[in-house]
Structure 1
Amino acid sequence: MSTLSGTLELRSSPFCTFPPPHSGPAIAMKLMELIKEWGLQKKVFTVTVDNASFNDNMQGVLKRQLRKDLVCSGDFFHIRCAAHILNLIVQDGLSVISDALEKIRDNVKYVKVSESRELLFLGCVETLGIVKKGSLVLDVTTRWNSTYLMLSRVLHYKEAFKNLAEIEASYKSLPTESEWLRARLICDLLQPFDEMTRLISGSSYPTANLYFMEVWKIQSWLGSNEFHEDTVIADMVASMRLKFVKYWEEYSDILAIAAVLDPRLKFKVLEYCYHSSDPTTCKSRMDYIRKRMLKLYGDYKKNTSAHSSQEVEADALPAGYGVSYLKPIL
């Protein structure tokens, strides 16, 4: 939890029996019990949960319980889990192209069905001098990152599969060039989601300030691929875009504010991103965020005493992380 004083505190509740009903109000009451136990009634800023319907009910009840102590009347209280939203977006896209992935899965299954075939495939890898990059992986449909890993590994060993087709008569599932190309496109489309997941999952540096740029990069990427010449890819992107708009746009304000509070980024990053996406609305969107920040600051000033400023050591992040970090994707 992040306290009003600006310090970060990790509080873990031990696992305990939670009898039915597991409804939103019941969960809210349990959380309220823990918040009181920890003395955090006046220090809660936001609650991050996934999109389960009972969580919507839970946060509504909890918000009413805490309303008089919430900053900005709880405008920023309910924040959805970023990793969960990414999962929903990608899963929607993959559901559209499931047939296109079957050929790749067939190849992985063929090699991994027996030790003798794995050894034969390994021989092809060594014969061609391909640098080993882990073993082949069969994806789990409920974990999109396993699909990305499967594709990246198969594509890395593409030439080994071709060599296998030349020496093994029973191997008849070698993808065509068009199927290899589509696999490459799908893998490339999943890469930015994998990168964002890894970045925001960091535990040794703050992550709230990173969301805005990463979300903007994905928004730009979806827009640039919306009318892809491959209709399968275009359908995948269209499905992902719908889910993106549904979940990310509802709390883009707090993502923007967190980015502005990063002294390396400030309002420059907002201006860059907003102007790149729509120059005609850039100024109005920036003015809106300024007003939101002033309201947020006003509430903090009213509810907290002055705290001495402390010098914070910069955390280790990718070199050059700032506005210039965005330019390569344009």
Structure 2
Amino acid sequence: MFNLDKYTPNLLSVFAKKGGAIGAKLKPVLNKQIQNQTIEMRRDNVIRGLMLYLGENEEELFLDCQAHLEDVGRHKMKILVWIATSCRPISVVEDDGLELVLQTATGDSSYKLPARRTIMRRIHDQHATEKAAKDKKMLEASCVALTGDHWTSVNNDNYLGVTVHFIDASWELHSFALGVMKTEERHFAEACARQFLYVANQWKIADKISTIGTDSAPNMVAAGRILPIEHLPCVAHVVQRAIVMSLREGGFDGALAKCRKMVGHFKHSPANSDELNVQQASLGQVQEPLVQDVSTRWNSTLEMLKRVRRNRDALHTVLSQQKQNLALPTNAEYEKLAKLEELLEPCRYITELLGGNKYVSCSVVLPALCHLQHVMKISDDDPAYIARFKAAFTKDLNQRREKINLEWLKVATTLDPRFKDLKCLPRAEREPVWAKLSELVKGEEPTLQPLREENSEPPKKKTALLLMDSDLDSDSETPEDNAVERYKVEPSASLDQCPLKWWSEHIAVYDMTREEDLIRIGKNLDKMVSRNTMDGALDLLKELKNFNMTLKLLQETRIGMSVNSIRKHCTDEEAIALAKTLIKDWKRLLEAENNGRSQEGINGLVQEREESPSRSHSRKLDFNDDSDKEHKPRKEKHELKPKAAPQPPIKLEKHGDRVEKHQPKLSERQHKEETLEDQRNEQRATKTDERKHYDVSRRHSSADNTRKRPVELPRPLFERSERPIIPANDC
């Protein structure tokens, strides 16, 4: 059985075609239905009963109708999607030409377009279905961000569009419109704030909103101050205003005015436009129309410059043939326009980069502004008009940059693994950003920039879980601090890598809940060892087995020593075996770390030898200068004389005709240093003699002694009575 609700509107025509007189008999039955029901509701009730009858008594007729109904349902759904996504009027279903096209496309001459009421009902049903799906996604999101924009239609009606953005549990970015509402009242700050709160309450996300982004209009900025959430002005609007101010100061008005008149000459006359197309074809250029710039969109100015410069020859040829009196740009002005295009192209790239909604753009703002400041840096060979443009741009951008909630953007940049080195910030501003990030991770209220006018209750601080009876860790160190420090020293991601994908692969390392659970297990194991009670040790070891232990966590906790003590004193064989397995796995981590360091040392030594030509060259010169040293036998280490300690200078005193040498008295510290140096030399000589004696005795006894030497067991890795071999971090 299939869902009848999808196919009810056209069932009458289907049964009239397939079932003969059955469809005709339904008409009087419909007239007897309750009067307050719509025609669709009456039809649904009758057809449900009819289909049940057909399913039980006329199976072949039922299956024949079902296939046709499914095709009809698919066609209606496609029409619905087309109307909704392309913003088509509902009256399009009354178009006879569209119905003829669909009859030809489907091969069914009896196909009828759905009624207008049917499409309206289906649109509402589909809207409810989509809204439920969006509600479910936002319910699972921990926090969301909103962007809003006021705009005016061609009929001079005011609208507010609100879009939501959030990251789900799978680290995927979602963005979709929450609504477009017509606004009747003036765009005062209080009215704008009420409209945003209304949309948030409609979708039940008012308590999840972290940030709202708008343009830099004064009413929007004031509304952002009223709302108890962070406000981020649109950076693309900031760049727009900086470019507009720079164009006024740069002295490009004359050249741009000539371009506008020239473009208008061809835009307002189809005949002139046709002549330009012919001339473009004769020169082998692409036939493209010119673009007239708009004062509110600087990128249209850039596109106008590109088109004019590309079609310079064609434009001048057509205008010369028409004998027009238009003032054309001179060669010097074309050179100015080329320079201007070079300056505006990076701005276009940054604007498009910040305008994307399928990737994270908030963390790119500060690096993008830093790039623009680098591009607009005045050089010695810049012409005067370019220097004025760059100076005006930099001045205006710096003034507006201070008003775009820099503290929030700094945190976003830090959380992006591509830019967490914070090279876009001065060195003095980097450490405060990391300190603020630590506060946010701990759940503390940020204190660097109070933006809220309304006093909202700050979130509760997370309790710092400290290790029990551990004098190796600082009392103020928390798992959140450790996570931030680990992320800080993590290698930066490549610029072409998606930050969300990076976090999806590394989130387990910075999971606070995971680290707190590990500390809890360590504290319980510590208590068991100190009280000599092993009840529940097996459960804790099993829970510990599920952790992906790292050498860093072993260094920060005493779990290794506790597990080793349980292995020695526990009577449960299963717990002992599990403890041995854990220690064995952790030893591999230590061995891998030591091997990696040894390999790095060897590689560094080899690289140092390869990259130090001065040393190798000097050795080669020494070898060539004294060839007899090649066969000179090397002395044993113990035969080398220790380096003598530096002696104090000898004073010469003259007494009449005699000159006496006086050795100054050594200080107590120098005397101790000489004594210690003599003792070290004696110990080295003794060890060398013992090693030499051992080698001689080993050669004499190797032939006679056939017994195996006893295997020397390695030193225990985790002993409770002493400090662990793995060094502990000092805060």
- Pair in the same fold by TM > 0.5: yes
1:129 is aligned, of 273, 284, 304, to: 284
Following TM superposition, by how much is the alpha carbon of 1:177 offset from its aligned partner in structure 2, in angstroms?
A: 0.7
User: Partners of 1:181 and 1:137 in 2: how far apart?
Assistant: 20
Give the paired residue count. 286
User: Partners of 2:326 and 2:389 in 1: how far apart?
Assistant: 28
1:34 is aligned, of 157, 182, 199, to: 199
Closer/same/farther in 2, CA of residues 127 and 36 from structure 1, 3 Å limit: closer
- The equivalent of 2:246 in structure 1 is 93
- Bigger CA drift: 158-167 or 215-224? 158-167
User: Partners of 1:114 and 1:17 in 2: how far apart?
Assistant: 38
Whichever structure has more helix as a proportion of its residues is 1
User: Partners of 1:133 and 1:253 in 2: how far apart?
Assistant: 49
Pairing 1:50–2:215 present: yes
- The equivalent of 1:293 in structure 2 is 437
User: Partners of 1:212 and 1:99 in 2: how far apart?
Assistant: 34
- The equivalent of 1:243 in structure 2 is 396
Closer/same/farther in 2, CA of residues 187 and 303 from structure 1, 3 Å limit: farther
Amino acid at match of 1:178: A
Closer/same/farther in 2, CA of residues 60 and 260 from structure 1, 3 Å limit: closer
- The equivalent of 2:415 in structure 1 is 261
Q: Is the 8 A contact 2:378 2:387 kept in 1?
A: no
1:59 is aligned, of 224, 247, 265, to: 224
Following TM superposition, by how much is the alpha carbon of 1:218 offset from its aligned partner in structure 2, in angstroms?
A: 0.9
User: Partners of 1:117 and 1:189 in 2: how far apart?
Assistant: 31
Amino acid at match of 1:35: A
Closer/same/farther in 2, CA of residues 22 and 198 from structure 1, 3 Å limit: closer
Following TM superposition, by how much is the alpha carbon of 1:167 offset from its aligned partner in structure 2, in angstroms?
A: 4.0
Closer/same/farther in 2, CA of residues 38 and 300 from structure 1, 3 Å limit: farther
Instruction: Specify the SS of the correspondent of 1:264.
Output: coil
User: Partners of 1:204 and 1:11 in 2: how far apart?
Assistant: 11
Closer/same/farther in 2, CA of residues 135 and 21 from structure 1, 3 Å limit: closer
- The equivalent of 1:84 in structure 2 is 237
Q: Is the 8 A contact 1:108 1:136 kept in 2?
A: yes
Write out per-residue CA displacement over residues 163-196 of structure 1, whole angstroms, 9 at most, x where no aligned residue. Answer: 3455443365332110101111122221111111
Following TM superposition, by how much is the alpha carbon of 1:160 offset from its aligned partner in structure 2, in angstroms?
A: 2.1
- The equivalent of 1:118 in structure 2 is 273
Following TM superposition, by how much is the alpha carbon of 1:238 offset from its aligned partner in structure 2, in angstroms?
A: 2.9
Following TM superposition, by how much is the alpha carbon of 1:299 offset from its aligned partner in structure 2, in angstroms?
A: 2.5
1:190 is aligned, of 319, 344, 349, to: 344
User: Partners of 1:128 and 1:11 in 2: how far apart?
Assistant: 46
User: Partners of 2:406 and 2:235 in 1: how far apart?
Assistant: 12
Pairing 1:25–2:190 present: yes
2:264 is aligned, of 86, 109, 119, to: 109
Instruction: Specify the SS of the correspondent of 1:146.
Output: helix
User: Partners of 2:362 and 2:416 in 1: how far apart?
Assistant: 9
- The equivalent of 1:148 in structure 2 is 302
Following TM superposition, by how much is the alpha carbon of 1:212 offset from its aligned partner in structure 2, in angstroms?
A: 2.4
User: Partners of 2:218 and 2:225 in 1: how far apart?
Assistant: 11
Amino acid at match of 2:259: I
- Which one has the largest radius of gyration? 2
User: Partners of 2:326 and 2:359 in 1: how far apart?
Assistant: 48
The correspondence of residues 173-188 of structure 1 with structure 2, limited to 5 A, is: 173-188=327-342
Amino acid at match of 1:88: R
Write out per-residue CA displacement over residues 169-228 of structure 1, whole angstroms, 9 at most, x where no aligned residue. Answer: 336533211010111112222111111121222232222232222211111122236994
User: Partners of 1:254 and 1:176 in 2: how far apart?
Assistant: 48
TM-score (norm 2): 0.36
Amino acid at match of 1:248: R
- The equivalent of 2:427 in structure 1 is 283
Listed as ranges, the gaps of 5+ residues in structure 2 are 1-137, 145-166, 446-458, 463-493, 498-731
Closer/same/farther in 2, CA of residues 207 and 121 from structure 1, 3 Å limit: same
Following TM superposition, by how much is the alpha carbon of 1:89 offset from its aligned partner in structure 2, in angstroms?
A: 1.6
Instruction: Specify the SS of the correspondent of 2:363.
Output: helix
User: Partners of 1:145 and 1:58 in 2: how far apart?
Assistant: 28
Instruction: Specify the SS of the correspondent of 1:47.
Output: strand
User: Partners of 2:314 and 2:460 in 1: how far apart?
Assistant: 64
Closer/same/farther in 2, CA of residues 80 and 133 from structure 1, 3 Å limit: farther
Closer/same/farther in 2, CA of residues 168 and 32 from structure 1, 3 Å limit: closer
Q: Is the 8 A contact 2:246 2:390 kept in 1?
A: yes
Following TM superposition, by how much is the alpha carbon of 1:304 offset from its aligned partner in structure 2, in angstroms?
A: 10
Q: Is the 8 A contact 1:226 1:237 kept in 2?
A: no
Following TM superposition, by how much is the alpha carbon of 1:244 offset from its aligned partner in structure 2, in angstroms?
A: 0.7
User: Partners of 1:3 and 1:25 in 2: how far apart?
Assistant: 27
TM-score (norm 1): 0.74
Amino acid at match of 1:34: V
Instruction: Specify the SS of the correspondent of 1:101.
Output: helix
- Kindly indicate whether structure 1 or structure 2 has the higher relative contact order, using CA contacts under 8 Å at least 6 residues apart: 1
Following TM superposition, by how much is the alpha carbon of 1:300 offset from its aligned partner in structure 2, in angstroms?
A: 7.4
Closer/same/farther in 2, CA of residues 225 and 142 from structure 1, 3 Å limit: farther
Write out per-residue CA displacement over residues 124-146 of structure 1, whole angstroms, 9 at most, x where no aligned residue. Answer: 3222223x163111112222111
Q: Is the 8 A contact 1:211 1:255 kept in 2?
A: yes
Closer/same/farther in 2, CA of residues 19 and 117 from structure 1, 3 Å limit: closer
Amino acid at match of 2:241: L
Amino acid at match of 1:256: K
**RMSD of aligned C-alpha atoms?**
3.2
Instruction: Specify the SS of the correspondent of 2:443.
Output: helix
Amino acid at match of 1:109: G
Whichever structure has more strand as a proportion of its residues is 2
The correspondence of residues 308-319 of structure 1 with structure 2, limited to 5 A, is: none
Listed as ranges, the gaps of 5+ residues in structure 1 are 64-73, 275-281, 306-318, 323-330
- The equivalent of 1:278 in structure 2 is none
Amino acid at match of 1:229: P
Amino acid at match of 1:237: K
Amino acid at match of 1:110: H
Instruction: Specify the SS of the correspondent of 1:45.
Output: strand
Closer/same/farther in 2, CA of residues 206 and 172 from structure 1, 3 Å limit: same
Following TM superposition, by how much is the alpha carbon of 1:148 offset from its aligned partner in structure 2, in angstroms?
A: 0.9
User: Partners of 2:273 and 2:181 in 1: how far apart?
Assistant: 45
Following TM superposition, by how much is the alpha carbon of 1:59 offset from its aligned partner in structure 2, in angstroms?
A: 1.9
Amino acid at match of 2:344: L
2:360 is aligned, of 177, 195, 206, to: 206
% identical equivalent positions: 23
User: Partners of 2:271 and 2:197 in 1: how far apart?
Assistant: 58
User: Partners of 2:186 and 2:266 in 1: how far apart?
Assistant: 47
User: Partners of 2:320 and 2:185 in 1: how far apart?
Assistant: 60
Q: Is the 8 A contact 2:221 2:233 kept in 1?
A: no
